[in-house]
Chain A
Amino acid sequence: MLDILHPKISNINKNNIDINLSEEIIKINIRGKNKEFFTKIGKILSIILPSEPNTSSSNESYDVLWLSPDEWMIYFEENKNTNIFDQLYKDISSINLGSITDISSQLICINIKGENIFELLSSGSPFNFEKFKNNVGSSTQTLVNHIDVILHHKSKNNVNLFVRRSFSEHLYEWLVDSSNFI
């Protein structure tokens, strides 16, 4: 039976592509529109939410991905800052300035590294990776093997892939299998 909380994803290297499970990553979905919302978020996170589509911004604590004109995802290692969710929730959600949702259990992060990762992803995605692969910091939502994913070009040839936990084992198997044909 599929164990949704603990999908069978082991670290693997195939054809110079490293596929690793990145767990203990906190992911927070942020939604909001007005000026006060942007000011508050900036103050709490010490980061400006990216307004340009398909981009991200980062500092030493957080990565923030653009998802849509009024939606972002912030992620960071669990041990880094445990009470930031509470603070965001208190200062934004609880006074209806925007919406803050902890989606750590919804999504799983799979890290993919190597020179051929964009060929691997392209082999199962309608997304055009030409611009994405030349720009570290790019982010996008698209499909890989018909599964919704969020992709973040973290550093050169190093991508963090976020996928629904229930789809993750299946997508992982597809990634491993497809690495054989790159």
Chain B
Amino acid sequence: MFLINCPFCGERDQSEFSSGGEAHIVRPKQPTELSDDEWAEYLFMRKNIKGIQFERWNHVHGCRKWFNVVRDTSNDKILSVYKMGEKPPVNYK
């Protein structure tokens, strides 16, 4: 269990949220020009890092807004929270 600071509602329990997986995956501009392997890479392949990971979360039982989270997956520490469309913090590469 951990707390997430929703950028809209404030600090709430994790059980109010739903994880949307890795953040900042850009949809290819011309999907028809990709090979099956390249398409599969975009669609399915995720880093699943042990350590600092950039993720999307949805406050599904609250304001229902999507936002980004920087989380250390090894200890569930939330290092940063930022809204959709905002630039990811640079100090966690």
User: Which of B6-14, B23-31, B40-48, B68-76 makes up part of the contact surface?
Assistant: B6-14
Chain A hits for B15, CB < 8 A? 126, 143
Interface residues of B (CB under 8 A from A): 8-16, 61-65
Interface residues of A (CB under 8 A from B): 53-54, 67-69, 71, 126-128, 140-143, 148
* Shortest distance from the beta carbon of B62 to any chain A beta carbon, whole Å: 5
**A71 CA / B8 CA spacing, docked (Å):** 12
Chain A hits for B63, CB < 8 A? 53, 67-69, 71, 141
**A126 CA / B62 CA spacing, docked (Å):** 12
Closest to A148 in B: B61
Residue pair A53, B8 in contact (C-beta under 8 Å) = yes
**A148 CA / B62 CA spacing, docked (Å):** 8
**A143 CA / B64 CA spacing, docked (Å):** 13
Residue pair B10, A53 in contact (C-beta under 8 Å) = yes
**CB within 8 A of A53: which of B9, B13, B61?**
B9
Chain B hits for A67, CB < 8 A? 63
**A67 CA / B63 CA spacing, docked (Å):** 6
**A142 CA / B65 CA spacing, docked (Å):** 14
Residue pair A126, B12 in contact (C-beta under 8 Å) = yes
Residue pair A143, B8 in contact (C-beta under 8 Å) = no
**A127 CA / B63 CA spacing, docked (Å):** 14
Pairs across A and B, CB under 8 Å, 24 listed: A53-B8, A53-B9, A53-B63, A54-B9, A67-B63, A68-B8, A68-B62, A68-B63, A68-B65, A69-B63, A71-B63, A126-B12, A126-B15, A126-B16, A127-B16, A128-B11, A140-B9, A141-B9, A141-B62, A141-B63, A142-B16, A142-B61, A143-B15, A148-B61
Residue pair B61, A143 in contact (C-beta under 8 Å) = yes
Chain B hits for A141, CB < 8 A? 9, 61-63
Chain A hits for B13, CB < 8 A? 126-127
Chain A hits for B11, CB < 8 A? 128
**A71 CA / B9 CA spacing, docked (Å):** 13
Interface centre among B13, B14, B61 (most CB of A within 10 A): B61
* Shortest distance from the beta carbon of B7 to any chain A beta carbon, whole Å: 9
Q: 10 tightest A-B contacts by CB?
A: A126-B13, A68-B63, A126-B15, A141-B62, A143-B61, A53-B9, A148-B61, A69-B8, A68-B65, A53-B8
